[in-house]
Structure 1
Amino acid sequence: MRFIEVSEDPFYEIEYRSSGRGGKVRKVVLPFYKAIVDELPKGITSFVITSDLQGREQKKTNRLIGELVAEELSLLSDLGEIPPVSLVALAGDFYDHPELHKLGGTGDVTTVWNAFAKEFPFVVGVHGNHDIVVESHLASNTIVLDGNSKNYLGIRIGGVSGIIGSSDRNQRKSKREFMSALAKVTNVKNDLILLHLGPEDATNRQIGDPEITNYLLSKGTDIVAFGHCHWSKSFIDIGKNQVLNVDHRLYLVTTANA
């Protein structure tokens, strides 16, 4: 599975509210893009990749925005505006404070995972550094990846949760632990690798971790999707890997004839 086209023009948008700097509430737009691959396994018409949906819907219910995104995707599918979504791939960070009073809040995102699981057959993903879940409350059609892979209907997905940092903080690993987990994932052939912390793109001055970049230059032939740091140029090649930044974005991955 390889990308042959990644759109730069959104086909749909959702407005929501998010915590901003200095306790100010921001109005934010989440763009939905299409990404075309050469082929998908039989039984998968399309799948979704997204991350860093840190905000709340504008209605009085004040749900985490990921819950609304799940419903909107399902509605678009029911209306025939997008192909049926076979799975959702989450790359971390889906929390924001109910009061939207502080940028970078950490909290429970179990409801976001379960919202996608309610609408779609399978949900797979990694945790971001601001995510907490109650694993016993996750729906049965979800799986969290961390140094391992899962095969679903012929598409193999690997992932590493968290970021590099002090292990006494939420969803952090030492550099050795993180790179060891990444090595376990790339030791088998995956179609898609999910990370929260992604590589650096020095060519385009886009921030990330340079050690991940150096590793991907010589390892893997996969699609690697990640969030955590926003890139203006979302799609590049690193080595033989196709690398897609999905921070504050949603991509519908499908084939040209779907």
Structure 2
Amino acid sequence: MRIVDGEPVALTEVGYRRARRGGGVEGARLPVGRLRVDRLPAGCDAVLVAGDLQGVAPSPWGGPPVLLGVALADFLTVWAGEGWVPAPERVGVLLAGDLYSAPAADRRGAGGAVRDVWWAFAAAGCSFVLGVAGNHDVVAAGELAEAGARVALLDGDCVVVGGVRFGGVGRIIGDPARPGRRDARTQTGLLDRVLAEDPSVLVLHEGPPGRGAGQVGRAELAARLRLRPPALTVCGHVGWAVPVSAAPGGRVLNVDGRVVLLTT
């Protein structure tokens, strides 16, 4: 799966609430765009990629605000009914982590359970739901097992779906005494294990730096990726104004606070 466009083409936005820097709550817009790739997993007409959905929003079906990722799964069904995205059963999903928000969206950096986001996409009937945990996520592979074989939390392993090999490593490099962090040696060891299986698509929460201004990331990860580069690396954790960067052997797609629909 190689990106063949330069930047996403804007499709729509989803309004939501998030914690404001310095305290309080603010309104925000979640951009939804489209990028073309050279191939998709068999059985898919699109792959929805998203990360850092740290906010709450009302579902299009009504009711009180829910985690932004849960609302996004509901919007996917609505958009499919309107005919401008494929039916959910023809859409795969890649989640790059950090899907939690405090219920009132009034605390930056809050951590908590994100099982509901994963289950929302599975309940929508999506072809597959794969991804990693961010440093603010509380989720375990066992919590997702009942959703079926095509729902998988990746962390140092790979799966093959529709003829495409996906690998993933969650969390970030940091003090292991803090939630969602590992020391650099452990994290790069997990990455090496995944890269040894030659995934076409690699999903990380914290990714490598890009080549453009402001495309920050971890140099330790970039050094590993240069040795066995995937065609596509998906990440988040820190926002890039320009979400795509060239990388050795492929591209990096940063989906911090955004949604990108991959199509052919």
Q: Could you say whether these structures have the same fold, taking a TM-score greater than 0.5 normalized by the shorter chain as the test?
A: yes
CA change 1:150–1:135 in 2 (3 A) is closer
TM-score w.r.t. length of structure 1: 0.93
Moved more, 57-66 or 92-101: 57-66
The amino acid that maps onto 1:93 is D
Q: Deviations over 1:176-207 (max 9, x none)?
A: 01101111111122121000001123642322
The answer to whether the 8 Å contact 1:200/1:206 transfers is yes
Structure 1 Cα separation of the partners of residues 230 and 111 of structure 2 = 33
Give the aligned partner of residue 48 of structure 1.
Answer: 48
Give the aligned partner of residue 130 of structure 1.
Answer: 136
The runs of at least 4 aligned residues of structure 1 exceeding 6 Å deviation read none
Give the aligned partner of residue 172 of structure 2.
Answer: 163
Give the aligned partner of residue 219 of structure 2.
Answer: 210
Mapped pair 1:22 → 2:22? yes
The answer to whether the 8 Å contact 1:216/1:241 transfers is no
Q: How many equivalent residue pairs?
A: 255
Structure 2 unaligned runs (5+)? none
The answer to whether the 8 Å contact 2:202/2:230 transfers is no
The answer to whether the 8 Å contact 1:22/1:102 transfers is no
Structure 1 Cα separation of the partners of residues 238 and 32 of structure 2 = 18
Q: Deviations over 1:47-84 (max 9, x none)?
A: 11100000011475121011010011122123221123
Give the aligned partner of residue 99 of structure 2.
Answer: 94
Q: Deviations over 1:112-137 (max 9, x none)?
A: 11001111132111000000025444
Give the aligned partner of residue 76 of structure 2.
Answer: 73
Q: CA RMSD in A?
A: 1.7
CA change 1:235–1:202 in 2 (3 A) is closer
The answer to whether the 8 Å contact 1:108/1:134 transfers is no
Tell me how far 1:102 sits from its aligned partner. Answer: 1.3
The percentage of counterpart residues that share the same residue type is 35
TM-score w.r.t. length of structure 2: 0.91
The 3-state SS of whatever aligns with 2:159 is strand
The answer to whether the 8 Å contact 1:145/1:160 transfers is yes
Mapped pair 1:247 → 2:252? no
The amino acid that maps onto 1:29 is R
Tell me how far 1:172 sits from its aligned partner. Answer: 1.1
The 3-state SS of whatever aligns with 1:183 is helix
The amino acid that maps onto 2:209 is E
